[in-house]
Amino acid sequence: NTPLIRVENLQKYFPVMQGILLQRQVAAIKAVDGVTFNIQRGETLSLVGESGCGKSTTGRMILQLSRPTGGTIYFENTDLTRLNEKELHPFRRRMQMIFQDPYSSLNPRMTVGKIISEPLIIHQLANAKIAQNRVKELLGLVGLNSDAINRYPHEFSGGQQQRIGIARALAMNPDFIVCDEPIAALDVSIQAQVINLMQNLQQNLGLTYLFIAHDLSVVRHISDRVAVMYLGKIVELSDRVSLYENPLHPYTQALLSAVPIPDPELEAKRQRILLTGEVPSPVNPPTGCRFCSRCPYVFEQCRVEEPLLKDIGSNHSVACHLI
Ligand code: SF4
Ligand code: MG
């Protein structure tokens, strides 16, 4: 079974100048530093971590919106990192993105009909009449009335705007969608509706998702597997059940302990792991384990030796010297 997406040792380094005057030298921001995972067709892999950990950069690199500085990205059997812009063209149709802030991702001067049909027109896949019918079909798929076609983005609520963004992403019948915190900007009351819609669309259209989020509560129901990222690296990768029931990396445990429990009795009893210290800079990440400056269990080896992602069976890998 060839995975739809296979990412191997992916890297994104940005050069920066450091130091003063004569001691200035080039250093590298290691935004993504050796990330490996695959996504099976029809699967949802979630990428979770604090802002700046490299999760959006990873998603953008898979879509080739940002070119990696190292590593490979296979779409089925094609390494996208070796293709030029012309060769990428057919793949661009098959990969789309849903953005965090629906309003700013929609052109306020275009009607909803124009916004949704724009990709079809750009890729010359439809004339105006066929595009119009396709837009109506897409509006139906995302639960919007077809009279939306002649209205403008500001006339809609945040949740409806995100449905418009989803319809646009679906216009070209993609296989793969990067969902970059698609509900983070929405009212809590409508987050579940948008998640449900995305799950239904996935089932009906056979979509594959990379779902990016900064906390573990959001992705609980939508994920098949979850990868937890810290400072440019994956620290734990597991199927959903095993991750939520048996989180093994201290960072995952801390993230999970911050997820509120609805039952007040359980909430009062549970232990919180509070992380002290700031997220270190990705310019000079700590040597050894990158989490060592904040880990409650840090010991000597952690500061000198980098823990590698270790397969511990049952579809679960962890990078920690304690495991
Ligand atoms: Fe903590 Fe050490 Fe494990 Fe890193 S390797 S998470 S510092 S115990
Ligand atoms: Mg981001």
Mean pLDDT of the chain: 92
Residues in the chain: 323
* Distance in angstroms (rounded) separating the CA atoms of residues 7 and 187: 33
323 lines ligand 1 (CB under 6 A): no
48 sits in which H/E element: strand 44-48
Q: Quick one: average pLDDT of 160-187?
A: 94
Instruction: Give the helix ranges, DSSP H, for the chain.
Output: 55-62, 85-94, 112-122, 128-141, 158-170, 188-205, 240-245, 250-257, 264-269, 300-304
Q: Give CA separation, 88 vs 8, 197, 210, 292, in Å.
A: 19, 29, 19, 40
* Kind of pairing between the strands at 25-39 and 5-18: antiparallel
* Distance in angstroms (rounded) separating the CA atoms of residues 290 and 280: 8
Q: Quick one: average pLDDT of 169-180?
A: 96
Ligand 1 atom 3 nearest Cα: 320
The full set of domain ranges for the chain reads: 247-323
pLDDT digits (tens, 9 = 90+) for 99-129: 988 888 899 999 999 999 998 888 777 788 8
Strand partners, 208: 176
Tokens 């259209």 belong to which residue?
205
Q: Looking at ligand 1, which atom is closest to the CA of residue 249?
A: 6
Choose among 32, 57, 55: nearest CA to 45: 55
Q: Give CA separation, 228 vs 22, 200, 215, 216, in Å.
A: 40, 25, 10, 9
The ipTM, to two decimals, is: 0.96
DSSP code of 312? -
Question: Measured in angstroms, how far is the CA atom of residue 105 from the centroid of ligand 1?
Answer: 39
Q: Quick one: average pLDDT of 143-159?
A: 95
287 lines ligand 1 (CB under 6 A): no
Q: Quick one: average pLDDT of 231-246?
A: 95
pLDDT for 20 equals: 74
pLDDT for 303 equals: 94
- pLDDT over 90 at 18, yes or no: no
172 lines ligand 1 (CB under 6 A): no
Q: Is the dihedral of CA 1, 61, 174, 85 positive or negative?
A: negative
321 lines ligand 1 (CB under 6 A): yes
322 lines ligand 1 (CB under 6 A): yes
Q: Looking at ligand 1, which atom is closest to the CA of residue 292?
A: 7
* Distance in angstroms (rounded) separating the CA atoms of residues 144 and 203: 19
How many CA atoms lie within 13 Å of 226's alpha carbon, on the beta-carbon side?
Answer: 28
* Distance in angstroms (rounded) separating the CA atoms of residues 76 and 175: 11
95 lines ligand 1 (CB under 6 A): no
230 sits in which H/E element: strand 225-230
Ligand 1 atom 5 nearest Cα: 320
304 lines ligand 1 (CB under 6 A): no
